[in-house]
Amino acid sequence: MAETGASPLPPKPSAPSPLSRAEQFVWLTARVLEQRRFAFHFLGGSADAVEVALAAYRNEDEGYGHALEPDLRGPVSQPLHTGHALRVLDSIGRCGGQRVERVCRYLTSVSTREGALPAIDPGRRGYPAAPFIRVVDDPPGELLATGPVVGLLHRNQVWHAWLFRATDFCWQAVDSLEKSHPYEVEAAVAFLDSVPDRSRAEAAADRLGRLVREHRLAALDPGRLEAYPVSPGYAQGEHHFPYDFARTPDSLARAWFTDEEMNRSLDFLLSEQQEDGGWPVRWRQWAPGTVLESRPIVTIEALRTLCAYGRL
C-alpha cells in the first residue's frame, strides 16, 4: 500500500517590506510630485517626470510657491518654497544650468542687505501660514533658510554673484553660534557638508558637534527621550536624532556620534513607520491638510536616509 500523509502546509506569506508598505502609502496619499519622487528614488522612475511635476509650483519670478512647503500656503513665491525646490532638483541630479541661474536671480531679489535669505518675504502677506513661521516687516537673514541653499549650490558647482555674499553670511553665522536649536544646526551642516573650504568646514563642524552634545540637542537614546530637552518653541516630543544631523554616512556630522548611537537612532527611525506605511510628522501640527501633504515628504526622506545607511 502506498503511504499516505498530510499535505504539507503552504509557506506563510512573508511580511511586506518597509519599502513596499511605504509605496502603498505614497500611492494612497501623496501629491503628484511626491509620487514621482518616490518612483525616481525607488522604482527606476525618470527625473524628467519629477521636474515636470515640480514646474507646476514655479512662478513667473522664477521662485516657487503654491504650498510646495506645506506649512506655508498660498501661490506666491517664498524663499522656503524655493529652497525646497532646489533640494528636489539636487536629489534628481538637475540642480544646474539655466534653470538654477534663473532661481538665483529670484534669490537675489528677496535677499537682505547682507545677501542672506529671510525665511519669509513679508511683501507677500495675506495667505495662511503655520503659527511657528514668523512674518515680520523687516526680516533678518537666517542661517536656517540660507545655509541649505548655499550648500547645495556649492555641491552642484553653481557660481553666481549672489552665492559669494551668501557664503560669507553663512560662515559668519556658523562661526558665531554659541547656542542653537536642531533645525538651525541641520542648516549649518547642510552648508558645511558642501562648502569648498574643507579644512575650515571640518573645524567648524567639530566645534558644532561639541555644542550639540553639550546642549543635548540630539536624543542619543530613543528609549530615554525624557532625558533630552525639547528646544523652546518646538512641539511636545519634537526630538531630533543623530540621523537628522547626519543624513548620509559621509556627512561631517556623522563623526559626532558613535556607531552605537547612530545604529540606535536608525533602529528607531525604522520602528517609526506607521501601520499605514508612512512616517509621522514630528513638528507642530496646525491644519489637517498640511499634515497629509507633509507625511509623504517625511516618508521619502526617511527611506532615503535608511537607504544611505544600508538599512533597506
Asked if the structure places residue 161 within a domain, the reply is: yes
- How confident is the model at residue 148, as a pLDDT? 98
Length of the chain: 312
3-state SS string for 74-111:
CCCCCHHHHHHHHHHHHHCCCCCHHHHHHHHHHHHHHC
Asked if the structure places residue 108 within a domain, the reply is: yes
Q: Residue 29 in contact with residue 74, Cβ under 8 Å? A: no
| Domain assignment of residue 151, given as a range | 57-131+138-176
Asked if the structure places residue 148 within a domain, the reply is: yes
Asked if the structure places residue 292 within a domain, the reply is: no
- How confident is the model at residue 13, as a pLDDT? 61
- How confident is the model at residue 151, as a pLDDT? 98
- How confident is the model at residue 3, as a pLDDT? 52
Q: At which residue does the C-alpha cell 556627512 appear?
A: 251
- How confident is the model at residue 45, as a pLDDT? 98
Helices and strands, counts by H and E, the chain: 12, 0
| Number of independent structural domains in the chain | 1
Name the stretches of the chain with pLDDT < 70.
1-14, 124
Asked if the structure places residue 125 within a domain, the reply is: yes
**By CB neighbour count within 10 A (0-12 exposed, 13-18 middle, 19+ buried), where does 8 fall?**
exposed
Asked if the structure places residue 74 within a domain, the reply is: yes
Q: 3-state class of 124 per DSSP?
A: helix
- Calpha distance 189→205 (Å, rounded): 7
Asked if the structure places residue 168 within a domain, the reply is: yes
CA proximity to 208, closest of 191, 224, 221: 191
- How confident is the model at residue 15, as a pLDDT? 78
For residue 123, how many other CB atoms are within 10 A of its CB?
Answer: 8
- How confident is the model at residue 166, as a pLDDT? 97
- Calpha distance 24→38 (Å, rounded): 11
pLDDT tens digits, one per residue of 159-190: 999 999 999 999 999 999 999 999 999 999 99
- Calpha distance 29→295 (Å, rounded): 9
Asked if the structure places residue 205 within a domain, the reply is: no
- Calpha distance 202→269 (Å, rounded): 27
- How confident is the model at residue 128, as a pLDDT? 92
Rg, C-alpha atoms of the chain: 21
State the DSSP string of 102-141: HHHHHHHHH--TTSPPPSS-GGG-SS-B-TTS---SSPPP
Q: How much is the pTM?
A: 0.93
